Amino acid sequence: MNDLNFKRHRRLRRTESMRALVRETHLQTDDLIYPIFVVEGSRIKNEVASMPGVHQVSLDYLTEEMNELVDLGIRSVIVFGVPQEKDEVGSQAYHEEGIVQRAIRQIKEETPSLTVIADTCLCQYTDHGHCGVIREGDIANDESLEYLTKTAVSQAEAGADIIAPSNMMDGFVAAIRRGLDEAGYSHIPVMSYAVKYASSFYGPFRDAAHSSPQFGDRRAYQMDPSNRLEALREAESDVEEGADFLIVKPALAYLDIMREVKDRFNLPLVAYNVSGEYSMIKAAAQNGWVNEQEIVLEKLTAMKRAGADLIITYFAKDAARWLKQ
């Protein structure tokens, strides 16, 4: 007994079963989307130097990799292509025999239970490394939309279940939605990278995908990390243009944005837990500075608590293994 007037919150934390009873957020393997990098050539399984545990794989190793995901209970992958040839307009992005198109066909044939998401962008495919085409030193928004739409349609033709455009041109959802509908793919959803910041957390990805801009940076199309209202305007136009999912990217430094987007729009929300967020934890774990399993499950749970329904993460395989235990 005490005569102080205070509340006893610890009553609900006394035992593990009590804590399980009042737990508000649950992370499940079904929430996880695994990113893969496919390269041309054969017998290639290159570990990305800045992303320990993440590999670029050639098609002859792809099915093995996909079977591993199926065994772990992971049901979706997002595919990034690393082409051999690049040109001014990124024509390998929409080539019928492009690396992504071949990878998608193979996954749908050999591991049909997986949901295949195609990342729709030009930066891995253009020789200048920008996400659109360049005219007079500038990224030409509306002309880029034509190439991006062709890319999305070619990915749907190859069998992609979801189109995920990450290029941040204005109107990309409207253009791609119309393109898909006209080509007979009105049943294919668009998972829009609606809120994508110009972030230093993408550094390791550019090693993995060879997609660094050869001049300038992406700040004329990706968002300024200082802005919150602009994120809501971006999300709003994507909803109006017909997006089926909204992505917020990166994840950890933008949990506030995730919460606001979730509260305002009634679409499934996806957190993109990006490469830099992965590599920092890997490096700290390799040094024995943090407990990798605990820290990864904590941060993935935090993304869900912030409103994410789904998480694209390079930790998907590890997390699926830990969640099984």
The verdict on 163 binding ligand PBG (CB under 6 A) reads no
Cβ pair 193, 220 in contact under 8 A? no
Per-residue contact string for residues 261-300; x = within reach of ligand PBG by CB under 6 A: -------------xx-------------------------
Q: Is 249 a catalytic residue?
A: yes
Per-residue contact string for residues 205-244; x = within reach of ligand PBG by CB under 6 A: xx----x---------------------------------
What does DSSP assign to residue 93?
G
Task: Give the integer Cα–Cα distance in Å for 59 and 56.
Answer: 10
The verdict on 123 binding ligand PBG (CB under 6 A) reads yes
Find the DSSP H helices in the chain: 16-21, 59-72, 99-110, 141-158, 172-182, 203-209, 229-241, 255-264, 275-286, 292-305, 316-324
Nearer to ligand PBG, 178 or 210 (CB): 210
- Active-site residue, from 45, 86, 108, 196: 196
- What is the smallest separation between the CB atom of 4 and ligand PBG, expressed in angstroms? 50
Residue 248: count other Cβ atoms within 10 Å of its Cβ.
Answer: 30
- What is the smallest separation between the CB atom of 205 and ligand PBG, expressed in angstroms? 3
Residue whose tokens read 């243009």: 241
Q: Is 317 a catalytic residue?
A: no
- What is the smallest separation between the CB atom of 200 and ligand PBG, expressed in angstroms? 10
The verdict on 202 binding ligand PBG (CB under 6 A) reads yes
Nearer to ligand PBG, 58 or 124 (CB): 124
Task: Give the integer Cα–Cα distance in Å for 207 and 6.
Answer: 54
- What is the smallest separation between the CB atom of 282 and ligand PBG, expressed in angstroms? 13
Residue 58: count other Cβ atoms within 10 Å of its Cβ.
Answer: 18
Cβ pair 316, 77 in contact under 8 A? no
Catalytic positions, written as ranges: 196, 249
